[in-house]
Chain A
Amino acid sequence: MFGILRTLWLTFLHMGHRRVTVGYPEHKPPLPPRYRGRIILSRDPDGMERCVACNLCAVACPVDCISLQKAEQDGRWYPDYFRINFSRCIFCGMCEEACPTYAIQLIPDFEMSEYLRPNLVYEKEDLLISGTGKYPDYSFFRVAGVKIPGKDKGEAEREAPPVDIHTLLP
């Protein structure tokens, strides 16, 4: 009995409390930087595409909304096309976790409503941004042992020069 009255009184006091909700279109809610929203493809600090078309994101995706095709140029792999169907995407972030090159990232933006469903299919031009996203200094090809123009084998960071198998010196 007393508990019920106390409940009533405490609820009544909530009249003076600050509201926890915000009026959305006027006041944008503060989103944390690791919020899982729209998916983007980032570039490395040199301005090249980070994505190496390894297909891990497409495999990890539980709803199979990612589709891409590999292409190759000067030893660098890159996606020929990269397509995300956002009408299927559930924003789980598995693709981001699977990505070995930090290319695919989820960013705090969720305002992507469309009147037509086909408009929610994003192509590579729509996904690719010009910046590095959440990892400003990381460049996959600078740490990987792959040979690309301007960087021969053994010239990557923390990489020893390759062993010359033709020499007999120890």
Chain B
Amino acid sequence: MIRAWGNEDWRTQRSEKSRKPCGDDATGVVLLTRQNHEIFVEKSAGVGSGFTDEQYIEAGAIIVDSAEEAWSKDLIVKVKEPVKDEYQYFRKGQLLFTYLHLAAEEELTKALLENEVTSIAYETVQLPDGSLPLLTPMSEVAGRMSTQMGVQYLEKTKGGKGILLAGVPGVQRGKVTIIGGGVAGTNAAKIALGLGASVTILDLSHSACGNWTTYLVHL
């Protein structure tokens, strides 16, 4: 498994359960501590994402030294699914809120069931219209980044054909084809259009194309 972006691991404790991730300058921690929740952040949890322990302390969190201590709290908030080393901390009544992707993780599923952990998976939180609000931001990031990667690998030194996607006056623009007009595809197209590339989007439904037109007007 590829490691996630900086592993923000917070555990919150109140009389009930809670725990959470953080925003710019640990905004998430600030918001929660203002509601009188106690937030515990595992030492160095945010370093990979550029959040220092000092920032969390400033935001009102308490830094804990060990994973064991962090997992002892009521509500555990993570990014990626727990790794095997963490299964030992599972216990009844614990509330775990993170990406889980259990369909592909039989061992993890068994560990959660055997230890009677209460788990809520980010990827299965679902709005009444069927959309997945906790997956959307990651699709947005991946979509926007995909065009950037295309730009980069078209460069000759990277092995590409040596084309500037935007072209210049007198030279044809580069062509970007995007298959899928959902959140990721929409975001890829937005960046490609911003660069001045020639963009084609393919989607299964006519209605998606209609949505597109509306969307682009508002770009």
A and B together in one complex: no
